[in-house]
Amino acid sequence: MFTGIVTDIGTVLEVEQKGDLRARIGTRYDVAGIDIGASIACDGVCLTVIALGDAPQNWFDVQISAETVSKTNLGGWVPGRRLNLERALKVGDELGGHIVSGHVDGLAEVVAMRREGDSTRVTFRAPHSLAGFIASKGSVALNGTSLTVNEVEGTNFGINFIPHTQTATTWGAVQVGDLVNLEIDTMARYVARLREWGQG
């Protein structure tokens, strides 16, 4: 379980296709405090740590199944790519964003960007099957970042990125055409299921 509050920007160091995809990610986290088997959200995808090291910099390895690659943007990882990282929530931690599972629902595409004062307004297009779960002033997780939706129009929705978010995450480098990992709000999923059940 995660909160969508990014705590490090990692870097893909190596990617290797060996059955499943395996990636080595450089981090500022103290790897001495990470256990093998720990969960770390990498661009919003909950991945399991399978190896650790500290030379020439701190790093951890993850293994990524074909199913995960098919549902996310992880198939596009190359050395040098920067990633939003978050370690799993512990009992007693502050819940600063919203409940995020790390199970990506699909990909959203960046379709427009414009400056608004010091901030940047970005418009995303969601898959039609997920658009109904996205509501104005509701929450979504995009590339592992908990964000508030400003407006919704059809399958498009807008997010306002303040300067802090752009510097504390990878969102400062976003471009039109980028595909990002989208996880809808768990509450929205349950509300939709209750409606469906009530109509049955």
Can you list the domains of the chain with their CATH numbers? 8-87 (2.40.30.20), 106-198 (2.40.30.20)
Residue range 93-112, pLDDT digits in tens? 666 667 899 999 999 999 99
- pLDDT for residue 96: 67
State residue 92's pLDDT score. 62
Q: What is the largest CA-CA distance in the chain?
A: 58
Q: Which pLDDT does position 151 carry in this prediction? A: 96
Segments of the chain with pLDDT less than 70 = 91-97, 188-190, 192-194, 196, 198-200
Torsion angle (degrees, nearest 10) of CA 69, 74, 75, 80: -160
